[in-house]
Structure 1
Amino acid sequence: MKVLRTPDSCFEGLPDFDYAPHYTTIHADDGTPLRIHHIDEGPADAEPILLMHGNPTWSYLYRHMIPGLLKTGRRVIALDLVGCGRSDKPAQKKDYTLARHCVWLTQWLLANDLKNITLFCQDWGGIIGLHLVAHHPERFDRIIAANTGLPIGKGANQFLRVWPAVMRYAPSFPWRLAFRKVLQRQLTVKEFAAFERAPFPARKYQAGIKKFPALLTVFPDHPEVEINRETWARLKSFDKPFLTLYGDRDPVSKGYEKIIQRYVPGAQGQAHKIIEGGGHFIQEDKAAELVAEITRFLAAKENKAGC
């Protein structure tokens, strides 16, 4: 497997993102080493909040949430999926499968030996992150899902029907089209460049983000749909606190929060919220409100435990 690595110089001087990089090396199924990047802030011995992003973003998406989450006294970790951000990027689209993403992140989780995790996951961070939860529930204390889903071949909404078709033959990722459809907040020129140009200084680095849409298991004949079906089967017995925070302007996963609330035992009785003005990349649109809701969720769990 040929692997590309974005030069460190590409990430210099990004606005509001002065965090030291941390790396974990795992191995692909053919033995190829892959370096996965994460941010690691706060007390090393504190319970971690793990932030997982989706496509085509990276941990930069959490820059406005990290300071507020650090005020909770917890360790805050934001990783980059393989093919994104500062993580290594296998060079061919065929290198990326849902199964491999799940294995890669499982290796990362076990290598870092994280426990008592509060997971905040959005988009693909939810699909892959919930796989981690389902297979290693003992490592997670609570979950917050935002604008994500876990499709099991039961069809797709209009956005998820069109998006894979658009991306199937796209020579490069259509950044402005994608962000215009799912982002409510207007990015500055430098912020947009931090998403588009910093991780992907040339088209050759984009194989992973171009492949993600084809990995959506929205139709029953998808070759990897059983992975998500198994994850769902396990989540139906997950009884630890599970909160949903979805944006009312998200065209991608709208309505999926109701499925989680219905079928995941830990979601029963939680203070779920639909956040007004939140688009798909809700971390950009409503960072302060998300931090406030997460802080309340953490406090509610602690108060209950104290009683």
Structure 2
Amino acid sequence: MTIQAIRTPEERFADIPDFDYPVHYVDDLPGYEGLRAAWVDAGPDDADRVFLCLHGEPSWSFLYRKMIPVFLESGARAVAPDFFGFGRSDKPTEAETYSFDFHRNYILALVERLDLKNITLVVQDWGGLIGLTLPVDEKFRARFSRLIVMNTGLGIGKTPSDGFIAWKNYAASTPDLPIGELIARGTPQMTDAEKAAYDAPFPSPDYKMGARRFPELVPIAPEMEGVEVSLKAAAFWKDDFDGASFMAVGDADPVLGPDVMNRLRENIRGCPEPMMVEGGGHFVQEWGEPIARAALKHFGDL
């Protein structure tokens, strides 16, 4: 089946600040033939460790620009994909194209294509909703070793917070989401150029189907797609995970803040006390350099 999609013109990305990393594209991933996927890939191809950085909604891989340099400083490789509907990846235009499995299977397929190994999984928001379920797949589990987790959760059929419901309702009623402005609201240090960079993938409302659709896909009811694999993931993190982990929490996040994250921490075997980022909003990667340094110091990488 052909998936209808549009592609952000390349010139929209001409003036992106502090994100000059090699961009790669592929349009023949199994199940996604004809859709162009994009990802940033920096550092040595033969590095001992790979940091797989999964962004959330409605951001893109640009969100990791303050963490990637620290990962590279440790001698590692950093891979930051753009989900379909975001960043430089193609943007399906029909709402029914978007589903939990559509995005989860894309990341699994990309990891297989790149043959990533010894992965440190770095997740926030939808990056966590998807990313935290990846170790349920045994092939991915064999490639995975550590976790950095920020302001996210598992979609186990429950509403995470009243703040999420307000966000979901707002997104559903706002076809032309002001994406740069939304991210800037909880990030007072953001410059106008950074705000424009978050807007860059979305020249018009036609490009924002993914941004509008994602809140509807969060598995908050037992019958929703993603709940079954999320429950399996919860069991893995609680009972079977034996790697190192690090948690950072933006304490000013009204959607996935300290209460939500403390519940998640209790379900991750061996997860230490979180690094609380005072004044940090939902997009806590905007405070990313000290978070990355603290994580790598915890792991013994720096």
The TM-score, its normalising length taken from structure 2, stands at 0.90
Cα distance in 2, alignment partners of residues 28 and 41 from structure 1: 24
Q: Which of residues 78, 88, 95 is equivalent to 1:76?
A: 78
Cα RMSD of the aligned pairs, angstroms, is 2.0
Q: Give yes or no for the alignment of 1:297 onto 2:301.
A: no
Query: For residue 161 of structure 1, what is the amino acid of its counterpart?
Result: I
Structure 2 residue aligned with 1:162: 166
Letter in 1 for 2:261: E
**2:189 corresponds to:** 186
Q: Which of residues 217, 220, 236 in structure 2 aligns to 1:218?
A: 220
Distance 2:159 2:188 in 1: 30
* Contact 1:56–1:209 (Cα < 8 Å) also in 2: yes
CA distance in 1, matches of 2:30, 2:142: 25
**What does 1:93-132 align with in structure 2 at a 5 Å threshold?**
93-132=95-134
1:26·1:104 contact (CA, 8 Å) conserved in 2?
Answer: no
Q: Is the 8 A contact 1:24 1:111 kept in 2?
A: no
Comparing 162-171 with 274-283, which one deviates more in the overlay? 162-171
Give me the whole-angstrom Cα distance separating, in 2, the residues matched to 1:189 and 1:14. 11
2:142 to 138, 141, 146: 138
CA drift of 1:22 comes to: 0.9
After superposition, the Cα gap between the structure-2 partners of 1:211 and 1:171, relative to the gap in structure 1 and judged at 3 Å, is: same
The Cα shift of 1:155 comes to 2.7
Work out which of the residue numbers 196, 206, 209 in structure 1 matches 2:208: 206
Query: Which amino acid in 2 is paired with 1:257?
Result: M
Query: TM-score scaled to structure 1, two decimals?
Result: 0.89
Query: Which range moved further: 48-57 or 247-256?
Result: 247-256
Instruction: Say if 1:26 and 1:107, in contact at 8 Å, map to a contact too.
Output: no
Give the secondary-structure state (helix, strand or coil) at the position aligned to 2:298. Answer: helix
SS in 2 for 1:170: coil
TM superposition shift of 1:282:
0.7
State, as a whole percentage, how many aligned pairs show the same letter. Answer: 37
Structure 1 18/257 Cα, relative in aligned 2: closer, same or farther at 3 Å?
same
Give the SS at the match of 2:146. strand
Deviation readout 1:42-93 (Å, 9 max, x if unpaired): 1111111111110111111111222222111111111111111001111112
What is the aligned partner in structure 1 of residue 89 from structure 2?
Answer: 87
Match of 2:18 in 1: 16
User: Which position in structure 1 is the counterpart of 2:63?
Assistant: 61
Whether the 8 Å contact between 2:168 and 2:216 is mirrored in structure 1 is yes
User: 1:259 offset after TM fit, Å?
Assistant: 2.4
Secondary structure of the residue that 1:79 maps to in structure 2? Answer: strand
The reply to whether residue 272 of structure 1 matches residue 274 of structure 2 is: yes
Contact map agreement 1:42 1:75 (CA 8 A) in 2: yes
